[in-house]
Amino acid sequence: METAVETARVWIGGEWQDADTAAVFQAENPSTGEKLAPQFPVSRWSDCEKALAAAAEAARAMEEAAPERIAAFLEAYALGLASAADTLASTAQEETGLPFTPRLKEVELPRTIDQLRQAARAAREGTWRRVTIDRQRNLRSCLGPIGPVVILGPNNFPFAFNAVSGGDFAAAVAAGNPVIAKAHPLHPRTSQLLAEEAARALAGSGLPAAAVQMLYHVEPETGLKLVSDRRVGAVAFTGGKAGGLALKRAADAAGKPIYLEMSSLNPVVFLPEGMKENGSRWVGELAESCTAGVGQFCTRPNLVFLFGGEAAEQFLGDLASAFEKREPTQPMLSGAVWEQLDQSIAKLRKAGAELVSGGKKLPGEGYRYANTLLRLSGKQFLEEPETFQHEAFGNEVLAVTVRNEDELVQSLEHLEGNLTASVYSSAKGGDEAIYRQVAPVLRRRSGRMLNDKMPTGVAVSPAMNHGGPYPATGHPGFTAVGIPTSIARFTALQCYDNVREERLPRVLQAADQAT
Amino acid sequence: METAVETARVWIGGEWQDADTAAVFQAENPSTGEKLAPQFPVSRWSDCEKALAAAAEAARAMEEAAPERIAAFLEAYALGLASAADTLASTAQEETGLPFTPRLKEVELPRTIDQLRQAARAAREGTWRRVTIDRQRNLRSCLGPIGPVVILGPNNFPFAFNAVSGGDFAAAVAAGNPVIAKAHPLHPRTSQLLAEEAARALAGSGLPAAAVQMLYHVEPETGLKLVSDRRVGAVAFTGGKAGGLALKRAADAAGKPIYLEMSSLNPVVFLPEGMKENGSRWVGELAESCTAGVGQFCTRPNLVFLFGGEAAEQFLGDLASAFEKREPTQPMLSGAVWEQLDQSIAKLRKAGAELVSGGKKLPGEGYRYANTLLRLSGKQFLEEPETFQHEAFGNEVLAVTVRNEDELVQSLEHLEGNLTASVYSSAKGGDEAIYRQVAPVLRRRSGRMLNDKMPTGVAVSPAMNHGGPYPATGHPGFTAVGIPTSIARFTALQCYDNVREERLPRVLQAADQAT
């Protein structure tokens, strides 16, 4: 007789409740293929309805809460995460196959904790509010909370972008908004542990019980209904393009601001003089950036441009060797991610890209894939620029060898919006003329421009832009990383015209301004 | 034998060109019904295509232009408008029926000139750029131009919101973007005169010839194609809800940021203690705000709430008298606007609103409509809150008498997003308990909250918010009025990571930062 597998409860209105369950699912260990307990529910609409009603109520109380309470909650939560580091990292490792150390415990979790603390500081200091006062006209404005924020997290950062602990979460809460988190189904147990820490921190905070809520999963139609509900203030999504665009259509039709991080090839351009001088160093940097975390970063380089010729052949040969030496021991996040990478590579090859190395699933346990290098001429790229901008999420890179500067510029002019664009060039000035042609073209097609540096690694700095033109995101004016800037996504501009002093929010009162 | 009427030329790529004409139209003098010369073209797609190609080219040159050049152009344009004030105001009067003085010559044109000058100052000072520098990480970011901006102006402000001279225009140009202006078909000759001034100012500016372009009109399908073209950076629209939503769908689907100002009822709430004290003064303020400019302002009050009873009856009786005393001498902007107001009032009456005064077209020349007061109980409003939020653009107001505080709060909770929300209350403190209930409900549903003040009159101040939650606009985080804030709509966040000093935009270079 089989023991019934327990089904986890959703966190709604401050209570861990039995879900209104449409179906159940289990996470899987991608290193072994084994199913992990417990079962998690796919929620029906009634769970969303309850969460929305509670969030709408909580929004009002949050709006009136002292910034100190919000900051204290975020800090208590950060502290809780730090205490639970081992359990969190080992659970996340089981569910995602990402390394316990350094990645999960020493890099991603500390980053997540730091984000929560930076958000707490921003909440306390009010640096995100952009207070503007026109005394002569008795007119004041500031940014204020936008209302309940629905966050849908990605598969590739179980902590730092998790809907219930990551950058979107920290930013939404810092602005005084309740959050309805939709966990990613690849790491439900990690999300549950995070939410339990959030619940502990929330209990003592004086904030409303529904300030944070979490569902594990919903069916696609339910998700579309959720993000377009009238009680929602804004939506944040990190993930694939197809899902992102479906949510965007629903939210747009309902007039709900939606911030999406959907796809990016992160082009890297290697200029010819520098290539002669530093090609061998550049190979090492590119190999590292393409293969770190099995290439499962939004900012991994998926498309590189270099000038055809002897130096390029040397570079590509060295890159293939470096890829082969770095055969991944770490699996991909899931069987689906693994399959999708394989299919993407097949699609690029079918369209005419030549396989230089890799291009196959690796034998043995775990969803491992060989580091893959494809190549293509600039002429081929220009014939089908859309086809060759197909994102292959994982440890793959497509190198385009161009004949000359014109072909390079023409190719870059076909690029869609990206999170980043990098240019490597001679330190001695030999590439300046080309740089001046290339830089403006890349500038208009990327959120963050880099020189002599790979795009992986996104510092949590006020000067960061983790955003970019469509379809990398839905709006080029906002960043998902960097505090206080990222907070602006979850705010409304609130103006007070001739409003009596004692009725103004504290941040706009004269006494506050004088200090 | 009839003389052929001349057809005006469109302004594309720095040239006044014959349009690719799908149809022609003429403006009409709404005071007399007479058709005005010349004929204006409705452009086919090929005109848009030419303008887009030229704008894309101009965008790159604009990006590299010194802020001083942009500022000088805006100032030269402002000066040109000041010199042409009489011609502009008389032409606009002919086309719109708005008074030559004070409205057109003494209020709206000076405001327009002031907006251009404020935008010039912002361009020169760079106050809109939000420069953020993280020296430790060598990471810098600022706002930069978003690319060609398509502006579609409204019927009710021939200067201050005109696509080729108004607030959107000034903001888009200040950020270094080329503008493709789509004039409003009710005042094409005014738009032509404005564009001629822009052309004169542009000629000596050193900016590209396609920095500003103008079409008079396009067919709806062409407009949808225009705003979703890949070369467009962003779109701004001011006008009716149906047109705005159609453009929004097209732009959203293409991933183009679109800023819309679509509709607003601008609720005004009169609290009971204050009503007893100041009701007679409030009547005067409301009558003035509803009837100024024949109510053809985006911020005119269309919906007011007051507590039923003796004071309310007195108030509504006095309001009806004030309305009758102010019978409009000025026509509405057009026969279509006049018809639409009549139909909107009929629709509200059919749904159950009671006519207190007005409700009819006035006899004689010009599209004049009687100032109209409708009334309704809170109970009726709550039965069909959507129906009674139908915008009647013009000199009409719907008064809702509520039984008590609960009914008031419930009613307000049904409000859609608005540009403004006003509360009038006792100066002696008698309404504070109700205010505290009402204010948060209105706050979430409006961009600008007012106390003891009517919403008409939108100061061009950095602290202004002429924006608000959907469907008043498409995004609650942006304002269409107020410099430098309104400029943010037409910018992208641009980050530079490890970019060499000499390659940074000037505004991010260390030397610039030190001064």
Residues B68-117 have pLDDT tens digits of 999 999 999 999 999 999 999 999 999 999 999 999 999 999 999 999 99
User: Could B449 and A140 be called an inter-chain contact, meaning their C-beta atoms sit closer than 8 Å?
Assistant: no
Residue-level pLDDT at B148 = 98
Give residue for tokens 């002569």: A136
User: Could A493 and B467 be called an inter-chain contact, meaning their C-beta atoms sit closer than 8 Å?
Assistant: yes
| Three-class SS state of A12 | strand
Residue-level pLDDT at A511 = 55
- Residue A370: which residues within 8 A CB-CB, separation 6 or more? A323, A327, A328, A357, A358, A359, A360, A361, A362
Q: What is the mean pLDDT of residues A211-238?
A: 98
pLDDT one-digit tens code per residue, B112-126: 999 999 999 999 999
CB A226 within 8 A of CB A48: yes
When pLDDT is cut at 50, 70 and 90, the band that residue A444 belongs to is very high
When pLDDT is cut at 50, 70 and 90, the band that residue B512 belongs to is low
Peptide bond between residue B38 and the one before it cis (omega within 30 degrees of 0): yes
Residue B364 burial (CB count, 10 A): 7
Q: What is the mean pLDDT of residues A15-23?
A: 97
- A173: which 2 tokens? 């809460």
| Length reported for chain B | 515
B48 labelled catalytic: no
C-alpha distance from B153 to closest chain A C-alpha (Å): 21
CB A32 within 8 A of CB A95: no
Which of chain A's residues have a Cβ under 8 Å away from the Cβ of B503?
435, 439, 451
pLDDT one-digit tens code per residue, A378-425: 999 999 999 999 999 999 999 999 999 999 999 999 999 999 999 999
| Three-class SS state of A108 | helix
Residue A4 reports pLDDT greater than 80: no
pLDDT one-digit tens code per residue, B289-309: 999 999 999 999 999 999 999
- Residue A211: which residues within 8 A CB-CB, separation 6 or more? A58, A62, A73, A173, A178, A179, A202, A205
- Residue B381: which residues within 8 A CB-CB, separation 6 or more? B388, B400, B411, B414
Average pLDDT score, chain A = 96
- B288: which 2 tokens? 């003035």
pLDDT exceeding 70 applies to what percent of chain A?
98
Which of chain A's residues have a Cβ under 8 Å away from the Cβ of B386?
none
Residue-level pLDDT at B376 = 98
Which of chain B's residues have a Cβ under 8 Å away from the Cβ of A498?
450-453
When pLDDT is cut at 50, 70 and 90, the band that residue A515 belongs to is very low
User: Could B443 and A475 be called an inter-chain contact, meaning their C-beta atoms sit closer than 8 Å?
Assistant: no
Which of chain A's residues have a Cβ under 8 Å away from the Cβ of B450?
497-499
ipTM above 0.95, yes or no: yes
- The whole-angstrom separation of Cα B130 and Cα A407 is 35
Rama region for B468: left / alpha / beta (φ>0; ψ in -120 to 50; rest): left
- Residue A406: which residues within 8 A CB-CB, separation 6 or more? none
Q: What is the mean pLDDT of residues B44-64?
A: 96
Residue-level pLDDT at A514 = 47
- B356: which 2 tokens? 């207190």
DSSP symbol at A101: I
A277 labelled catalytic: no
Residue B456 reports pLDDT greater than 80: yes
pLDDT one-digit tens code per residue, A240-258: 999 999 999 999 999 999 9
Residue A3 reports pLDDT greater than 80: no
Q: What is the mean pLDDT of residues B393-401?
A: 98
Please tell me which residue of chain A has the smallest CA distance to B143. Answer: A477
pLDDT one-digit tens code per residue, A140-176: 999 999 999 999 999 999 999 999 999 999 999 999 9
User: Could A503 and B439 be called an inter-chain contact, meaning their C-beta atoms sit closer than 8 Å?
Assistant: yes
CB A455 within 8 A of CB A461: no
Residue-level pLDDT at A231 = 97
- B21: which 2 tokens? 């004409």
Residue B17 burial (CB count, 10 A): 13
C-alpha distance from B512 to closest chain A C-alpha (Å): 17
Which of chain B's residues have a Cβ under 8 Å away from the Cβ of A256?
470
Residue B459 burial (CB count, 10 A): 16
User: Could B450 and A499 be called an inter-chain contact, meaning their C-beta atoms sit closer than 8 Å?
Assistant: yes
C-alpha distance from A16 to closest chain B C-alpha (Å): 29
Residue A312 reports pLDDT greater than 50: yes
User: Considering CB atoms only, which of A448, A467, A497 is closest to B449?
Assistant: A497
Residue B515 reports pLDDT greater than 70: no
Which of chain B's residues have a Cβ under 8 Å away from the Cβ of A255?
417, 469-471, 474
Residue-level pLDDT at A338 = 97
CB B210 within 8 A of CB B11: no
- Residue B359: which residues within 8 A CB-CB, separation 6 or more? B345, B349, B370, B372, B374
Residue-level pLDDT at B1 = 45
Q: What is the mean pLDDT of residues A273-289?
A: 97
When pLDDT is cut at 50, 70 and 90, the band that residue B46 belongs to is very high
pLDDT exceeding 90 applies to what percent of chain B?
97
CB B491 within 8 A of CB A507: no
Q: What is the C-alpha end-to-end distance of chain B, expressed in Å?
A: 70
Secondary structure element (H or E) that encloses residue A398, with its range: strand A396-402
pLDDT one-digit tens code per residue, B438-449: 999 999 999 999
Q: Read out DSSP for B284-305?
A: HHHHHHHHGGGG-STTS--EEE
Residue B2 reports pLDDT greater than 90: no
Q: Which of A298, A391, A396, A407 is catalytic?
A: A298
Q: Choose the mutation target among B438, B442, B465 for the interface with A, i.e. most A CBs under 10 Å.
A: B465
Alpha helices, DSSP H, located in A351-429: 378-383, 405-413
Residue-level pLDDT at B3 = 55
Q: Choose the mutation target among A495, A498, A503, A504 for the interface with B, i.e. most B CBs under 10 Å.
A: A495
Backbone φ and ψ of A303, nearest 5°: -150, 120
Q: What is the mean pLDDT of residues B249-272?
A: 97
Give residue for tokens 């410099």: B483
User: Could B463 and A492 be called an inter-chain contact, meaning their C-beta atoms sit closer than 8 Å?
Assistant: no
User: Considering CB atoms only, which of B139, B453, B459 is closest to A464?
Assistant: B139
When pLDDT is cut at 50, 70 and 90, the band that residue A5 belongs to is confident
Please tell me which residue of chain A has the smallest CA distance to B446. Answer: A494
Backbone φ and ψ of B24, nearest 5°: -125, 160
When pLDDT is cut at 50, 70 and 90, the band that residue B4 belongs to is low
- The whole-angstrom separation of Cα B96 and Cα B73 is 28
Strand A139-145 relative to strand A212-215: parallel, antiparallel, unpaired?
unpaired
Nearest to B223 by CA among B209, B239, B211, B210: B239
Q: In the β-sheet with B234-238, what is the strand arrangement from edge to edge?
A: B15-17, B10-12, B212-215, B179-182, B149-152, B234-238, B258-261
CB A275 within 8 A of CB A307: yes
CB B46 within 8 A of CB B241: no
DSSP symbol at B8: P
- The whole-angstrom separation of Cα A1 and Cα A92 is 31
